[in-house]
């Protein structure tokens, strides 16, 4: 009887450790306010933008923020990010495939000197992609309004 209780106790501790680890993992994933329900079964993708020259056409952009400009280019699935403030803080575009199960962030850590940076993704055709601009300030992400683009 004692061995059976001990084994059950070990299983319970193992399950508790898995729950704590998974919860901590969600909290660490980029520091956003996304909850487990927000992410669901989606695979979180974190990319760091590369310094590139903006090219291509037919982009939808958000330039409202004083800290960051972002664009999504459906042809080629390219997320563009431009840091507009020389404050040493990161800027990003966060995106979600509303028709699928992918969600991610393209983060620019290169600063204003890099001008436009990009992350090139391979998203499914015919999906709605929701995206928003953000900047890191005072230990948290601050997000602008969301846009949805048919890719």
- For the stretch 72-104, pLDDT in tens is 999 999 999 999 999 999 999 999 999 999 999
| CA pair distance 150, 129, nearest whole angstrom | 6
- Of 121, 117, 96, 80, the C-alpha closest to 32 is 96
9 burial (CB, 10 Å; 0-12 / 13-18 / 19+) is exposed
| CA pair distance 67, 58, nearest whole angstrom | 23
Instruction: Find the mean pLDDT for residues 9-36.
Output: 37
pTM of the model: 0.73
> Is residue 23 pLDDT above 70, yes or no?
no
> Is residue 127 pLDDT above 60, yes or no?
yes
Mean pLDDT of the chain: 80
Contact 98, 40 (CB under 8 A): no
């Amino acid at each position: 009887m004692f061995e059976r209780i001990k084994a059950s106790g070990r299983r319970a501790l193992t399950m508790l450790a898995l729950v704590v680890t998974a919860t901590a993992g969600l909290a660490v994933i980029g520091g956003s306010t996304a909850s487990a329900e927000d992410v669901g079964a989606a695979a979180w993708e974190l990319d760091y933008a590369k310094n590139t020259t903006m090219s291509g056409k037919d982009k939808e952009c958000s330039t409202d923020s004083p800290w960051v400009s972002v664009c999504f280019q459906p042809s080629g699935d390219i997320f563009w990010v431009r840091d507009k403030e020389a404050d040493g803080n990161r800027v990003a575009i966060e995106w979600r495939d509303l028709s699928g199960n992918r969600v991610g962030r393209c983060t620019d850590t290169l600063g204003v000197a890099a001008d436009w940076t990009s992350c090139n993704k391979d998203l499914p055709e015919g999906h709605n992609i929701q995206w928003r601009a953000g900047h890191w300030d005072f230990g948290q992400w601050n997000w602008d309004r969301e846009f949805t683009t048919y890719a």
